[in-house]
Amino acid sequence: MTEQKQPVSLASLLTPSKTVAVDFPTLEGFSVQLCYLAREELIKLRSRCVSQKLNKRTRAFEETLDETKFLTEYCKAVIKGWKGLKYKYLEELLLVDISGLNPEDELEFSVENAETLMKNGSDFDTWVTEVTGDLENFTKTK
């Protein structure tokens, strides 16, 4: 007797997010815990940062994205941690004065530090956006 297989629902297989460690190019030993967000999660995040304002001239509501709030929410959602971010590396990512610090010591991860790096380090911001936007970075098995 042949056993009947139950059809699998694709929706039941979906995962809203996945976190992986990704090495930052050119900065040896610096890796970032990045979280892939499904499209639906990104839409929810964006909608939390949008407000509706009435345009008096057109008498229509217009969406306004609060970019500062979006960056804060995005950082919290996608950057889950890092290791190996030496103070000397900061000089390659943004304009800093590390003269009072040991360049080999590491900057601890915090949401605030991640947000500051995203706001002021365009190379880091671009890299995070590219890595988290490419599903392949989260599906390949190592």
Q: What residue type is assigned to position 71 of the chain? A: L
Categorise residue 29: left if φ over 0, alpha if ψ from -120 to 50, beta otherwise. Answer: left
pTM exceeds cut of 0.75: yes
**5-19 average pLDDT score:** 84
Q: Is 16 helix (H, G, I), strand (E, B) or coil?
A: coil
Q: What is the pLDDT of residues 77-112, one digit of tens each?
A: 999 999 999 999 999 999 999 999 999 999 999 999
The token duo for 18 is: 């996945």
Q: How many CB atoms lie within 10 A of CB 142?
A: 4
CA 102 → CA 98, 106, 107, 112, 142, distances in Å?
A: 8, 9, 11, 21, 34
